[in-house]
């Protein structure tokens, strides 16, 4: 990080690539990967 890299979490990576929930092509897959299969399941 001190050399200029930036940390990114797996959730922020998914959201950064999706960027806009109006982009329909990938939104269902992202919701499944991030929410259905992980965050909602692991509460």
**Which positions lie near another protein, rule CB under 8 A?**
1-14, 16-17, 19-20, 22, 26, 29-30, 33-34, 37-38
Q: C-beta of 36: minimal distance to another protein in Å?
A: 11
Q: Which is nearer to another protein, 4 or 43 (CB)?
A: 4
d(CA 3, CA 7): 12
The CA angle 23-43-21, to the nearest 5 degrees, is 10
Q: Are 30 and 18 in contact (CB under 8 A)?
A: yes
Write down the least CB distance from residue 23 to another protein, Å: 8
């Amino acid at each position: 990080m001190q050399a200029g890299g930036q940390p990114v979490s797996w959730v922020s990576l998914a959201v950064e690539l999706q960027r806009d929930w109006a982009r329909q092509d990938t939104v269902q897959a992202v919701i499944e990967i991030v929410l259905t299969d992980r965050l909602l399941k692991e509460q």
